[in-house]
A and B are shown apart, each in its own frame.
Chain A
Amino acid sequence: GIQVEQSPPDLILQEGANSTLRCNFSDSVNNLQWFHQNPWGQLINLFYIPSGTKQNGRLSATTVATERYSLLYISSSQTTDSGVYFCAVAVKGGATNKLIFGTGTLLAVQP
């Protein structure tokens, strides 16, 4: 089956710093989403981005489907950005909302 690897696995930042999270996938996909899991376990949708670039405030994401990777950029990080970031993909040919999750990046933003 498809493999979805995220890097780095852990990241510690000082408040105000910028960061880039990476998601590599091993096969063609027809959906890619980024999520933030807060300390209470809730998954918050960040981006639906099977290809191209999107921005939402301090966050932006880019997916290069032909090269099988996606990047999530966090600028001017805040302590509330702390948590686990997951990318998730849907395998081409399957349901676009049936997701395979990546390994996750645990982000800690220190004041």
Chain B
Amino acid sequence: SAVISQKPSRDICQRGTSLTIQCQVDSQVTMMFWYRQQPGQSLTLIATANQGSEATYESGFVIDKFPISRPNLTFSTLTVSNMSPEDSSIYLCSVGQGARNTEAFFGQGTRLTVV
């Protein structure tokens, strides 16, 4: 499977600030996905990041709050903007691997605490 590296692995941030999370994959992939996991909850898809086009956001998530970049086929960033304590979550990126890229694999996640 692909090696998916996320940075930072964890951070503690002040409310009102922004944090950019990086996701690097060791092979070229068409789609990258960003998920959020709030404390004690399941994972929820934030957006799909395609190279060369704007990200596609799921219901309840907006570009102003979670801007995404996808400059090439191996890298993406997710920014959490104007943070509040409700943004404290684990953020994970995911890519497809295997035959026809059908199986999803995840980075190790970024554990964000907003104080």
Interface of A toward B, CB cutoff 8 Å: 31, 33, 35, 40-43, 45, 48, 86, 88, 95-104
Interface size class of B (residues with CB under 8 A): 20 to 34
Does B77 sit within 8 A of A, measured CB to CB? no
A98 touching B95 in the complex, CB below 8 Å, given contacts A33-B103, A33-B104: no
| Interface contact B104-A42, CB-CB below 8 Å | no
Q: If A96-B96, A101-B43 touch, does A41 touch B109 (CB 8 Å cutoff)?
A: yes
Pick the residue among A31, A98, A101 that contacts B31 (CB under 8 A).
A98
- Chain B positions within 8 Å of A100 at CB level: 45
Is the contact region of chain B dominated by helix, strand, or loop, or is it mixed? strand
Which B residues are CB-close (under 8 A) to A33? 103-104
Contact code string B82-95 (vs A, CB < 8 Å = 1, else 0): 00000000101011
**Residue of B with least CB distance to A31:** B102
B90 x A41 contact (CB < 8 A): yes
In the complex, A40→B90 CA distance in Å?
10
Whether the pair B95, A97 counts as a contact (CB closer than 8 A) is yes
